Structure 1
């Protein structure tokens, strides 16, 4: 039962050594960070079993009855079984002592023992964020960070990004100030509604002048409340009106004709006062819609803030309205900012402004999520003792409730819309699910007639014109965006004109620039057309493709080792990191059936070997042909074609997941668009290497229950789950909150 020690510069390197020495079934006993890197203690899984077997074999057996026997030559005396057993026991005991000493040494350094997730949760709790939000955020920790187990600047930057994107705000002040209508500030007594009313009015006057604005107060309870707002109205030179708390707003509209921006300072009420519902009802009782803005005191206790948001939102809903916006007040009086931000984020409120003093209007600023999160994380206080993971496990389970899922879903969907052109169309296709088949057909026709739009496409990746193995359909074609990424919604083959050259020409007529990625060599007509157009094109071909090189006609596979090496490219192949080693050589190629009487043209053949990035194992070989005029430009095109290999496999898996028996009536072409679109999105996210993609992957894998298989497949399953959860929330009547 020998325990082995491995040290690598990082976790990946240390684990590679473990697998090389002990195999994939090695047992990891402990790990820690040292000055040399990451240290892992491991043993082979079979070692314990072997040790048990050795002990059993050393145990003396009962003596058999003596019986006559022929004389035998004298044998050397065998070792005493009891002594062998004692020796093995002593060796095992010594190894167990060594293991205990090493494990005890690690326990004495809890910070190095804890995972990165635990350290991030600790960081959030020290800042004042609650355990529910902390676990929700950390549950989406990317694997690229998790393997390091080090709370460094990159991990903290990731944490700040996750919090900032959960904190919704205004893009600019005009989004709020330039919208005409009635705004009502609501909230408990003493939260700062009157001062905030004056600050907002002053900012509006600075932008639009005094003529369009009017102030209204419903606070007839506090002594001097009217007078305080009246002083502000005189200073701003805007009219002020008084409204009884039980009067509808419509009673004043006749007197306020010509005013395009009306702000109401409501009477302060405890969130536990049953009259809160009545108050909000009166605000919504008129003909004109009223925008409700909830004020939250940054210095209040988290429990109080939670109750305020819940009760006032219930009141708004009971009155037939909705409460989405908030303003944080008294930031200067708060010891920490994180508790109030936690409330805002968990309830999905949009934070408009932050108020931090009494001066009008200086002491109020537009909410900037990034700066607020930075400030919140900077104000950390050590906890009395580190929080054990078990103590926050219930919060992690609660983070999966409907509100948490809905909030994360909205964030992920919005990020996908911003990142992937065509994703909004994929959503529209999915929305046809459940409609009668005839309506599905009509709406699908309208949806696809102008897709893709002019300027949205840089080129096309044309799929093979044959059925995907095991299925009755062919992989749709995929358009390329100006940035070189795949459009999220592919193009069905059967909706396109027949003939390769006709398709290429039709794409050009649809304002698709002349870049074409092909599977297989173009036929004679298409090849001649591509050359006449001087298009940028590249074909992925088989090793049996014949070309002319150095006066001989040979297959590409037979030319391996002849070409000039041009270096390696990082890639992903079948869901795993790899390296593509490229070589190239000049060739002459003839298009089959060319009208040029078998005239050949100058091209470059590209030969590639894909190897596993970690082990160096050969994973596959690929071959490409590109016109000589492109020179070294085709490298990105080769990579796109190579990594597009996975699309038919992913589309087939998605097709099987979208079972009409479970989803209801579903046209075959609609099902194929949904399946191929999900495959394209999953493959894009698997291939992308930027931080935004890393964050999106982690969020998706968190929604789908984590990664338990190939990453691209896991992402595909998570995307299916994303759309199904989205539909569930919409069926519950919460769909509008996705874009709030």
Structure 2
């Protein structure tokens, strides 16, 4: 049987070498390796048919005996082994580091057992204790844990302000958590504060026998009217009748967090005609995983209207309360009240984080069957020997890793050449590399990193922007973590007004799904920054009109996408009209390709005003973009922009800016990719979480710019990064930003390892 062999193609440039390979092997050719050659650039490739035949032969071949393969490894196999070896080192060292910390600092291990015994999760406990400085006594360490927990627990704002504002509050949660009793307790507090005549109670619980009667009895005692509703329309009618009431409390039917009807219940509350604030009740006697599932289900059920907070119930029935704190810290869910009994209204208190944390950290109940017991001490001789064995194995793996680097010496030149090309290219490589290598430095204050990123941004803006800085505001969804918690990343990417390329990501935020989606947080931050040029915020959608007025007063420039139904009043017309019904005069436009066919795209502009709820008329520019089929004139695409940017920027330029902003959605998704490569979100107590998020954003701009970089060296660098990522280079497929990001994540430590290898090989005292 003839085994297909890879073929080598040498040419003066990488593009010519790839062209030769494609001509000889077809568009589906698979690039196995590439490197600089004495005669130019060499590509090793196989055709699609040869690859399939090779796979069939490999499957049919008998297994090889264990042991090293004779001769030198192929470049791709060396890289594959290098990736595998690095993963083994990282995996092994992860356990060694924690165990070694406990061996050198036994107090840390004792504190870990204390936190686990109080009901905290292992992840939060370890993340918090990683911040503990060495050398503390147990009492000092416990005080440190207490202070960190008090700082991390989210609580409601001042109760007097909350009750003073009033409104509609709905108590939601699973069955049996104590919603009706807690509703009565809250009602009693409100009656004592501002009287029964300004209160009303509503129940939607038509399932549980006696639910309405129980609440009606409480209402009679308090002198508060009680209303029972049966559906969404009835609820809307009742709440409209109760508009003169300062406070309305809604007792809802209990539903399991796994019941699909949870979303229906939340939809009924959110479509009630008035804003309904939802308070989630958490049962202290529930398991930590159950609490996490409850919050996730009720938070996810309506992402546009997040929970305003929670109430801890049944505290008197649970011996351990750590899981409650663990859950609200992880989900950033403010705690409003604590309920610890059936008495109305005595057994309801405002959350005091210091007192509650003190109560949680008291010793676990004696004789508990479910708390962590010490197993002979972490610093015992057996544990110490295990740590030493693990360290020795990690050292052996590291030495093998270095030998593999030397084995691929013929590729080392290509790696060095790629690094040099990246340094000379305008992609921000040096800053990205330095930030990546320091991403997990927990000791570094976030403020210091933010300052460095701002300095990087100013340097990039000085060389890459003309008259403006484009601030692209948006968000990207993170993959769910192990506990199925989902978060969004809110980004503010600074881009060039000359090329549209991302220059810097000086700030990132973590948000719950359903939070503000029009860039409000980013805009508020932009107001505090100075970048040397006027900033124009590019928003994914139109902000509320009141915010637009405030921005106008603050001289903040913005461009926002608007929907077809957005109402605006054109100049000379007294009636607000939907943007889709306005008829501007389009110019001849330009030839483009849209939806696979020849088309023409034109831009037009009209002056309009947008009214606020208070009657203020805000003068704006409306930019219309329309793409029509070249032959039939059929409209293929149309969109609208509203902006307060002055006439010095023509409408065609504004349309171009918004098109660039849409492309940068991919850069924001790369931030999510980078965060996963750096270790993910982690727990709130993770000291390096924000550092990783900020670094991931800045490196995403480098990967995005590299994806669009043109030239011979850029092509060769993208091929190398794809190979470093362990992916196959296909001549018929474009490069992927996510793959290039992964390649950069492999290139950064590889350059450090190569530098260390060179340093070890150099004799002491030799000239540099």
TM-score range, shorter chain: 0.3 to 0.5
When Rg is computed on C-alpha atoms for both structures, the one with the higher figure is: 1
Considering Cα pairs closer than 8 Å and 6+ residues apart, tell me whether 1 or 2 has the greater RCO. 2
**TM-score, normalised by the number of residues in structure 1:** 0.39
**TM-score, normalised by the number of residues in structure 2:** 0.38
